[in-house]
């Protein structure tokens, strides 16, 4: 926004980007880590990206960042997402992956921890495309039989309501 305003007011774009932006702590480098990008852009609709010389390289938007997460999650190529709730029990993740590996590969796996008083970890497993409903049901049944709570099963190919 600051760069656009500067250019619209006839300013030179040959100046370093860091001299044009008002809040100079809110930019990222082309070499920034994913977590640095994620937590820097959190409160902004978009953020300036600079190269190693401190020059403007481009703009990263929330939409583009969410697209990266969507790709990592295999939303477009997966079949089902299983949300499994576990406590802080050692070996839960190993148990989950062993059960699923008996039936299919894992397209994506993400863990999310609750910060609530009752420590609950949610494990989201995306199963690859081509898994039958029967195989999915067998995986869910085996997980629950081993004491793992499957709290949600989302079919990624069904139209959203």
The whole domain housing 11 covers 2-68
Asked, for residue 161, whether it belongs to a domain, the answer is no
* CATH number of the domain that residue 24 is part of: 3.10.580.10
Residues 58 and 122 in one domain: no
**Residues 10, 37 within the same domain:** yes
Does 97 score more than 90 pLDDT? yes
Total tally of structural domains belonging to the chain: 2
More confident residue, 10 or 69: 10
Mean pLDDT check: name the lowest of 31-35, 43-47, 148-152.
Answer: 43-47
Mean pLDDT check: name the lowest of 1-5, 59-63, 65-69, 127-131.
Answer: 1-5
Q: Are 73 and 108 in contact (CB under 8 A)?
A: yes
Report the distance separating Cα 142 and Cα 125, nearest Å. 14
Q: Are residues 151 and 85 in the same domain?
A: yes
The residues, ordered by sequence, that sit 6+ positions from 19 with a Cβ below 8 Å of its Cβ are none
Please give the pLDDT value at position 25.
61
Q: Considering the domain boundaries, does residue 18 fall inside one? A: yes
How far, in Å, CA of 128 to CA of 106, rounded? 6
Residue where a domain stops, chosen among 39, 68, 97: 68
Work out the angle between the directed axes of helices 133-145 and 92-101 (0-180°, nearest 10): 150
Average pLDDT over residues 88-108: 92
């Amino acid at each position: 926004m600051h760069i656009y305003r500067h250019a619209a007011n006839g300013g030179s774009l040959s100046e370093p980007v860091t001299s044009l932006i008002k809040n100079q702590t809110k930019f990222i480098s082309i070499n920034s880590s994913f977590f640095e990008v994620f937590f820097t852009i959190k409160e902004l609709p978009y953020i300036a990206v600079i190269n190693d010389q401190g020059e403007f390289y481009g703009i990263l938007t929330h939409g583009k960042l969410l697209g990266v997460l969507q790709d990592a999650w295999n939303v477009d190529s997966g079949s089902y997402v299983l949300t499994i709730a576990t406590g802080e029990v050692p070996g839960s993740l190993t148990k989950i992956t062993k059960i699923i590996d008996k039936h299919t590969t894992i397209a994506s796996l993400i863990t999310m921890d609750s910060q609530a008083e009752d420590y609950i970890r949610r494990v989201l497993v995306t199963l690859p495309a081509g898994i039958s409903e029967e195989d999915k049901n067998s995986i869910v049944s085996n997980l629950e039989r081993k004491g793992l709570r499957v709290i949600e099963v989302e079919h990624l190919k069904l139209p959203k309501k």
